[in-house]
């Protein structure tokens, strides 16, 4: 059983999303869009599923350093816990800041900034590669000799804290709180793509690090959310890959080894002088700016939502039982989950070329779950799922084709 606080907090996350949806309903504010929210959560699903494999290596690295090279053996006491809370948050600040200032690292973090909305679902939008680049910033804590179990707990709680700051429904808080802690107001700035807001407020829990190291920015006008080059897709797999594909293209176009290293290790937007020099973020023309949006028919959107809820249940089962699964079971689970959320992105993007892969995904999903849990009642449920889902999707496609024929 997984006792990671991030995983155990999942019901609280969805409760808060539900509250925000209620606020949207009664206030008539446009807080959520179905396609954006599903993609945000799908990115979180992808990150958690891949993290089940990545964390084996990152945690092992921390344990190895702690056991082999620690200069002290710091006991778990009230004062060491306070020091560790500060240490984790300090390391988070620098890991987060470097994720914005080093192009290679930005590829792991950019996913979190891609949404053009700002709500609790954005907190769940995380990059699958981010942990590979950022975990090493915490190694000084292992060298100092902090308890690894306590480190993992406090690091997870630091992540949980940051969920509630992803909202526009909470305004500015009393000044003492705003001065010390990271708040929704401070973090809205961090998600802004306006030049004055870019690369500001990197804090995890405590905003004091930004104040100390010159990266603090007060929230003034409402930010424009997203990144300077929108990805224009609802596919969470492509959301994780696009930056690195673009970076590979930049490397091919950039002459000279040192210039290529500059593309990798300098800030996003860096170019050698012969290619125009640093490309600063442009001002947002709010008179012409429009969010990326596609409008699948209601019946297709409802189908995707129901299928997504089913995959969400499978993902929860995977995350809570991952430590007890065999490697082949983990691989089967994770492949099915990632394929599913990618396919939902295809459907939301109206990519007709790949739409019919949904039939194959339904059959593979039913077979995979049946084989993983070889019991009669699960086999019956999976059979019913495959039959109902294929029939439902066939009906939805026929209805869409009728609409397309009328438009033509």
How many Cβ atoms are within 10 Å of 264's Cβ, its own excluded?
A: 16
pLDDT at 325: 85
Tens of pLDDT along 176-209?
Answer: 999 999 999 999 999 999 999 999 999 999 999 9
Q: How far apart are CA 229 and CA 234, in angstroms?
A: 15
| Spans of all domains in the chain | 5-213, 298-407
- Candidate ranges 276-285, 303-312, 326-335, 392-401; pick with highest mean pLDDT: 303-312
pLDDT at 403: 62
- For residue 206, give every residue at least 6 positions away whose Cβ sits within 8 Å of its Cβ, in sequence order, or none: 86, 89, 180, 181, 182
Tens of pLDDT along 30-78?
Answer: 999 999 999 999 999 999 999 888 888 888 999 999 999 999 999 999 9
pLDDT at 400: 73
Mean pLDDT along residues 268-286: 90
Tens of pLDDT along 132-141?
Answer: 999 999 999 9
| Mean pLDDT computed over every residue of the chain | 93
């Amino acid at each position: 059983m997984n006792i990671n606080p991030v995983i155990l907090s999942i019901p609280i996350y969805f409760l808060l999303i539900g509250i925000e949806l209620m606020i949207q309903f009664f206030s008539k504010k446009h807080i959520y869009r179905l396609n954006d929210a599903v993609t945000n959560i799908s990115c979180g699903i992808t990150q958690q599923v891949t993290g089940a494999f990545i964390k084996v290596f990152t945690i092992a690295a921390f344990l190895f350093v702690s056991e082999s090279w620690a200069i002290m053996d710091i006991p778990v006491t009230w004062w060491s816990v306070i020091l560790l809370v500060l240490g984790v948050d300090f390391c988070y600040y620098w890991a987060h800041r470097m994720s914005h200032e080093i192009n290679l690292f930005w590829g792991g973090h950019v996913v979190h900034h891609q949404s053009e909305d700002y709500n609790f679902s954005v907190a769940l939008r995380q990059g699958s590669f981010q942990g590979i680049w950022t975990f090493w910033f915490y190694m000084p804590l292992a060298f100092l000799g902090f308890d690894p179990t306590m480190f993992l707990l406090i690091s997870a709680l630091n992540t949980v804290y940051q969920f509630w700051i992803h909202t526009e429904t909470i305004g500015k808080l009393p000044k003492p709180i705003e001065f010390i802690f990271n708040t929704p107001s401070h973090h809205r700035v961090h998600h802004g793509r306006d030049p004055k807001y870019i690369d500001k407020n990197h804090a995890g829990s405590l905003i004091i690090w930004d104040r100390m190291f010159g990266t603090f920015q007060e929230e003034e006008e409402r930010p424009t959310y997203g990144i300077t080059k929108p990805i224009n897709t609802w596919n969470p797999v492509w959301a994780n890959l696009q930056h690195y594909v673009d970076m590979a293209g930049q490397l091919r176009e950039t002459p000279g080894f040192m210039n290529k290293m500059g593309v990798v290790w300098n800030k996003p937007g860096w170019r050698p002088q012969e290619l125009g020099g640093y490309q600063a973020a442009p001002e947002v023309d709010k008179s012409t700016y429009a969010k990326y949006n596609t409008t699948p028919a209601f019946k297709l959107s409802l189908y995707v939502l129901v299928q997504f809820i089913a995959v969400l249940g499978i993902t929860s089962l995977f995350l809570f039982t991952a430590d007890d699964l065999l490697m082949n079971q983990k691989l089967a689970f994770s492949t099915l989950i990632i394929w599913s959320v990618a396919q939902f992105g295809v459907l939301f993007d109206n990519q007709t070329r790949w739409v019919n892969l949904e039939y194959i995904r339904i059959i593979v999903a039913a077979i995979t779950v049946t084989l993983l849990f070889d019991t009669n009642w699960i086999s019956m449920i999976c059979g019913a799922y495959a039959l109902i889902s294929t029939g439902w999707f066939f009906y939805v496609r026929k209805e869409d084709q009728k609409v397309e024929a009328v438009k033509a």
